Amino acid sequence: MPDVQTLVNDFVNKLKKRKIEGSQATAKLTAELLRSVISQQRVPHTNQATALIHAVRAIGEQLIAANPVELAVGNIVRRVLHIIREEDLSLATAAMAGLGVSAASDDEDDEERDENPVLSAAAVAAAARSTLRPPSLQTLLEDTSDSVAAPHTSSSGGESDGRSRSIEKGSRVRKLKHDVIEAVNELIQDISTCYEQIAEQAVEHIHHNEVILTLGSSKTVLEFLYTAKEKQRSFKVFVAEGAPRYQGHILAKELAARGLQTTVISDSAVFALISRVNMVIVGAHAVMANGGVIAPVGLNMVALAAQRHAVPFVVLAGSHKVVGALCDEP
């Protein structure tokens, strides 16, 4: 495989020169690069998660500095850091379960119990939180410690015990890296199919004879509306042109080419039209942790108009656009 630093330098140059277009492409390439970094990173037998975290964080700082405006890069770096912690916590939890079984079966043998893996208080607390609390957005937003201590064994035993412990440590290292890479592969798959996953929900939001308003150009919105049409939904779309870049004209042409009833309006006509609209559907460049969005110029005006007339306002964005979702500075 190519050297990691060569891959990083090439990707940094592309980010600086803005040769990568779109948040999805940027997020996918960032995840693939970090997967290569993890795959080629040499991990010590102790503090394995910490070593991976430091390596990913160092690369992430370079990528974010190359193009701070592209927030998807930092989002993916944080997601990968979260994956490393979660997989390390999973291994620690499994070790705790094995420790409990061993302790229950060997209550009469103190020496054997002393040789079992011992976990840190941080690992016990993190595993308890993970076990007792159901998965939710709140638990996803919470940060865990930078490293969950891996189980370790005592130094007692003969030469054969030392060799077995060395093999066990090596297998744990390979297990952690393997699990992390598999989870990153799932992340890449989710990014690749984000348009399809969002579009699948179109029929739940768009109904017959509705009037939809959107602003600017967004591929997510395009696929969302087109999927609703394929599901036999009949509706009209008004597209605000989105001055000064006038990206709305691009979206309107693509919608019309796919057979949707589309009308382009000026941004100043939004407030006059909003009372006839059933729903506002827009894309976003990024979604903040507090629910705010970073979007094209003019979207705030549309949101205020929709609020004034109590019109539902839907923002379509993939999970790779959520900023600060894992509360960790890369």
pLDDT of residue 319: 87
Q: Summarize the confidence of residues 123-136 as an average pLDDT.
A: 50
pLDDT of residue 179: 92
* Average confidence score pLDDT of the chain: 80
Q: Give 21: exposed, middle or buried? Use CB within 10 Å, 0-12, 13-18, 19+.
A: exposed
- The beta strand positions in the chain, using DSSP E, are 210-215, 235-240, 261-265, 279-283, 286-287, 293-294, 313-316
Using the predicted structure, report yes or no on whether residue 121 has a pLDDT greater than 50: no
What domains are defined for the chain?
4-192 (no CATH), 199-321 (3.40.50.10470)
Helix (H, G, I), strand (E, B), or coil: what is residue 98?
A: helix
Alpha helices, H only, 245-323:
247-257, 270-273, 299-308
Q: Summarize the confidence of residues 77-89 as an average pLDDT.
A: 92
Using the predicted structure, report yes or no on whether residue 28 has a pLDDT greater than 70: yes
pTM for the structure as a whole:
0.73
